[in-house]
Amino acid sequence: MKQRGFTLIITVVILFAVTMIGLYAMRGTIIQDKMTANINNKVITSNVAEDGATQFVKWANDQFKNNGGWPNSPTDKSRWHTVANIPNSNTGVLTVNSGNNGYYWINPSRNIPGCATPATNPCWDDTNKIVTVEVTGYLIKSNGSSTKVLGESIYHIKVKGVFPDVVKLPDFPAALTLGGDVDSFEGKNSNQFKINGVNKLAIATMNSSSNTTVVDGIPRNRRNAEHYYGGADCPSASGACVKNTDLGIWGDPNAIMALVNTIKNVSGVTYINGNVTGKLEYYVPSCAGIVIIQGDYSGSGNQCGGKFNGVLLILGGQYSMSGGGQTDIRGAVYVADIRANGTGGYQFNDSAVDFSGGGNMTITYDPSFLGGDPNNPLMGGTQKTTILEWNDVL
């Protein structure tokens, strides 16, 4: 009887041990299943949040390129919600918008670290043209009347709007290019007045009579390469580098106006619909870039503190410097009188240039201020986005 009792005890102990081992093994399996499920859920929610972040970047890129550039109004800054269909709420029954069971959204009241305005998402930095946004991704299960969130991830992205400094214009044949017929030209009788075409012409005209008018208007004692210098097409012994040549697009008033209408509202371009008199800096504080004057330019006194870097397109036909001494223009100048012809197109009228008060003024051709890409004559690049940060924060 004692042996049978001992055997029973041993059997119970063994069964208990086996049971405990089985329970422990089962517990380990359950933990592994939970870990696997959690990892799988995290992968899903991260992918959902990244999907939402991608949709925001696509919207921002389209906004910068095709819809007015950097958004300045609150309405434009909130267009991601309506245009890109990115939700701004997590209440009610949620509709899957990523994969089979994902829901991404932007919480407008979420705090963005470093944002000047608390509880603002996206955070817009108008000065540096940077937008920071945090996109939430959910793993959801909906039953028709409510939604249960099974997992959550948040993606933090920072996007910068990048814009070209200036529009790339078609190349000019000279430092000073004159379109149409030149009715009168008067050069400055000053040893310090110079037009330097570098590797181009000093002055380009589009017909022989205009060329004669320009040459005759230069004082004889300044009619030389020292004061009107050009490249290989103008040997130094040939006198002032003034030539009648093919102006390309700058000899076609319709092409010029099509170009003007394309670029006049682009960043880096100043469009002035009317005459400019006195100081150019009153109209163009930066004294740089592409300046389109849909009128005459009559400058008096020192212009732009003595330096303008860029391109002047004077389309009213009259360019006069009655006191522009000590003004250095680096880039190019174009003068023509372009007017509507009454049949839906444009034509050249006579133009006039007067540098009699130009003093020590210089015009130096510099292609770095105009681009000059012959394969892309309208614009030198599109506005685009650059991603500065892209990471999972939850």
In this prediction, residue 102 has a pLDDT band, given cuts at 50, 70 and 90, of very high
pLDDT of residue 359: 67
Both structure tokens of 285: 């504080």
pLDDT at position 381 = 43
Are 299 and 335 in contact by the 8 Å Cβ rule? The answer is no
- Average pLDDT for 330-343: 94
- Is the pLDDT assigned to residue 43 strictly greater than 90? no
The pLDDT, as a whole number, for residue 377 is 35
pLDDT band at 374 (very low <50, low <70, confident <90, very high): very low
**Residue with more model confidence, 289 or 183:** 183
C-alpha distances (whole Å) from 199 to each of 191, 229, 237, 247 are 22, 9, 16, 16
More confident residue, 374 or 128: 128
68 with 76: CB under 8 angstroms? yes
> CB–CB of 361/326 below 8 Å?
yes
Distance CA 254, CA 311 (A): 19
d(CA 79, CA 88): 11
Burial of 277 (0-12, 13-18, 19+ CB in 10 A): middle
DSSP-derived letter for residue 182 is E
Residues 223 and 240 sit within 8 Å (Cβ to Cβ): yes
Question: Which residues does residue 277 pair with via DSSP β-bridges, in sequence order?
Answer: 298
DSSP state letter for 8: H
Specify the pLDDT at position 63. 83
Judge contact between 349 and 317, C-beta under 8 A.
yes
Local structure of 46: helix, strand or coil: helix
Q: Retrieve residue 240's tokens.
A: 């002032």
Distance of CA 53 to the CA centre of its chain: 22
| pLDDT surpassing 90 at residue 204 | yes
Tokens of 10: 């041993």
Arithmetic mean of pLDDT, 305-309: 87
CA distance 175 to 299: 18
Q: What is the pLDDT of residue 8?
A: 67
Task: Tell me the range of 4-8, 54-58, 102-106, 169-173 where mean pLDDT is highest.
Answer: 102-106
Alpha helices in 185-310 (DSSP H): 208-217, 253-263
Cα distance between residue 25 and residue 248, in whole Å: 84
The mean of the pLDDT values for the chain is: 84
Residue of 305, 257, 258 whose CA lies nearest to 285: 305
Greatest alpha-carbon pair distance for the chain in Å reads 142
Strands (DSSP E) contained in 116-187 are 123-125, 130-142, 147-162, 174-178, 182-186
Work out the burial of residue 222: count CB atoms within 10 Å of its CB; fewer than 13 is exposed, 13-18 middle, 19 or more buried: middle
pLDDT of residue 334: 97
Structure tokens at 375: 């394969």
**Residue 114 has what pLDDT?**
87
Q: Which tens digit of pLDDT belongs to each residue from 219-246? A: 999 999 999 999 888 876 678 999 999 9
pLDDT of res. 25: 61
